[in-house]
C-alpha cells in the first residue's frame, strides 16, 4: 500500500524523482481502481525526459492508423 499525501503533492513528486523512481500517481480521493480502464480519476505523473532527434522517415500506418503513419524513424546523437 502506498502512502497518501494531500496538499504536498509537488514536494512528494520531487522527492520521488530524486530517489530515482519513474513518478507518482495522482488520484481523486473518492475514486476506485478500475483495472484495464483509462480515466481522469487516476493520473500517472512522470519525469519528462527529452532528446533532440532528426526525423529520417516513417512507416505506413496499419489498422486504425491506416490514414496516418505507423512510426517515425528517428536518429539522435549523444554528446
Per-residue pLDDT of the chain (79 residues; tens, 9 = 90+): 566 788 888 898 999 889 988 889 888 888 888 888 888 899 889 988 888 899 999 999 999 999 999 999 999 877 6
At 22, list the grid cell.
519513474
Q: Name the helix (H) or strand (E) containing 13.
A: helix 9-18
Tell me, what's the pLDDT at 70?
Answer: 94
The owner of cell 478500475 is 34
Q: pTM higher than 0.85, yes or no?
A: no
Amino acid at each position: 500500500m502506498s502512502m497518501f499525501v494531500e496538499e504536498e503533492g509537488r514536494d512528494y513528486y520531487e522527492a520521488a524523482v530524486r530517489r530515482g523512481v519513474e513518478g507518482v500517481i495522482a488520484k481523486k480521493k473518492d475514486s476506485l481502481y478500475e483495472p484495464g480502464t483509462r480515466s481522469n480519476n487516476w493520473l500517472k505523473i512522470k519525469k519528462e525526459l527529452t532528446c533532440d532527434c532528426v526525423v529520417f522517415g516513417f512507416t505506413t500506418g496499419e489498422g486504425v492508423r491506416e490514414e496516418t503513419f505507423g512510426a517515425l524513424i528517428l536518429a539522435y546523437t549523444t554528446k
